[in-house]
Structure 1
């Protein structure tokens, strides 16, 4: 990747912490309600940073594009994943579906003429997906109901379309202003579901507010800022390939932080995913 490798590594580590914090949040609140808290808080924080820094908000067209990215990458992706979990999908099935994102992004990018991939890059993408499959294999079962699959596929389409849209139609606004608009749009889309279907249900515990604060300050502020910087600087396929590392790194963090079991199969999957990302993102002569 043209961006510093450390930037991509930082993104993966920060992004993975969101899954650990998310497990705590969804145990304390309904899905859409939890996301409204997260995205609403992030929108307010980014708006404050934009105002303090005198950020340029751009034109109405820029605002519309930022809002579109927010609906796709935030509301659809996380709404689909959280709803899928509520409808009976296991964490392994969710990780496997979202783990297909790099393949879908690459396929669309090639078919639309946005990018051209070499054979070794396709090998890397397939190897990366095999790595994801190995990591989540022990958590995938055949009992996932079709509504849960539909919700997860909606999340997959959301993050894939959002990545490509952000790359092709990136609004010409300050990053702080853009993220404020994106989070605000996601909040407005999810708010009716939280109010009408969930009665804005959450437990006002220290665990809920602590995990939500982490999602806002670390995952949204750090993770999405890093993601959009990477999208601006690199090919969509290269950035998407980093998501192959999310399930393996999350498994390792889950072992270190939550005491979750780490098997030899998961470590093998980690190695496959890492090799796949290296092949998919390296610059070939």
Structure 2
């Protein structure tokens, strides 16, 4: 499951490159959420899974949906639209495991069973160092501004808070109904904001293809896997998997768009994988 999640999640920036020239970010996401809600609704009607046990659980799911879908994806896609490179924002969002580990250490009652060990801290630092090597060549090119940097930080804080919030407050429930509630909440927040965007959607074949992949692979597949991983594993271990996303994205961009893959970048991928292994396999103290 973790390997499949990383592969699917890594396609997010590739899809953005295909879809963003033909749509403003929030409009794309609003359509994506609406179609995803429709798909989950059909799936639920056919399979009839259990719904969240009470209104409190539904509320907690809605909060995580706003944070992890509307906040995170909205910030990432808007930052890319404003010129922030995929590698740069991958590095910034890749700080999430560090923030998660800091929170777990400072607030041991925040939903984690144990504190972060020294070996896991070493893994987190190795992962961050490897991540920097992977995207280093994309930094310092004049692409960072106050607006897109602020949106990237907003995305980082949103997914970090959403991950910890879900681990702390959301009780185990069926991923289909949970995703339905999360996406409906994200749609309720994103759709009104999308109406304020002056740019119209161009239903270009690239846009349609990007939308189809976003709905079926990224939302129904990737987001559902992320929900299950958070539900079953420690937040620090789960978020450490995100260190593998930029290296995988770099390989995909090299294969699809012929982007340069340098020796330092490949070394960074090795360091990243080693860091993730330390975080994921070291037993907590």
Structure 1 length-normalised TM: 0.94
- Listed as ranges, the gaps of 5+ residues in structure 2 are none
Instruction: Provide the secondary structure at the position in 2 that maps to 1:173.
Output: coil
**For residues 126 and 33 of structure 1, what CA distance do their matches in structure 2 show?**
37
**For residues 142 and 19 of structure 1, what CA distance do their matches in structure 2 show?**
19
Aligned partner of 1:3 in structure 2 is: none
Is residue 40 of structure 1 aligned with residue 34 of structure 2? yes
Q: Deviations over 1:29-67 (max 9, x none)?
A: 001011111111111111221121112222221211111
Is residue 163 of structure 1 aligned with residue 163 of structure 2? yes
Aligned partner of 2:214 in structure 1 is: 215
More displaced stretch, 73-82 vs 106-115: 106-115
Equivalent residues of 1:65, 1:171 under 8 A apart: no
Shift of the alpha carbon at 1:87?
A: 2.7
**For residues 108 and 210 of structure 1, what CA distance do their matches in structure 2 show?**
38
Q: Map of 1:264-279 to 2, 5 A cutoff?
A: 264-279=263-278
Equivalent residues of 2:119, 2:282 under 8 A apart: no
More displaced stretch, 245-254 vs 79-88: 79-88
Aligned partner of 1:256 in structure 2 is: 255
**Any runs of at least 4 consecutive aligned residues in structure 1 with deviations exceeding 6 A, and if so which?**
none
Aligned partner of 1:27 in structure 2 is: 21
**For residues 104 and 142 of structure 1, what CA distance do their matches in structure 2 show?**
26
**For residues 57 and 97 of structure 2, what CA distance do their matches in structure 1 show?**
26
Aligned partner of 2:233 in structure 1 is: 234
- Listed as ranges, the gaps of 5+ residues in structure 1 are 1-6
Structure 2 length-normalised TM: 0.94
RMSD value, Cα: 1.4
Shift of the alpha carbon at 1:171?
A: 4.0
Shift of the alpha carbon at 1:109?
A: 1.6
**For residues 242 and 92 of structure 1, what CA distance do their matches in structure 2 show?**
17
Is residue 56 of structure 1 aligned with residue 50 of structure 2? yes
**For residues 88 and 251 of structure 1, what CA distance do their matches in structure 2 show?**
18
Number of residue-to-residue matches in the alignment: 278
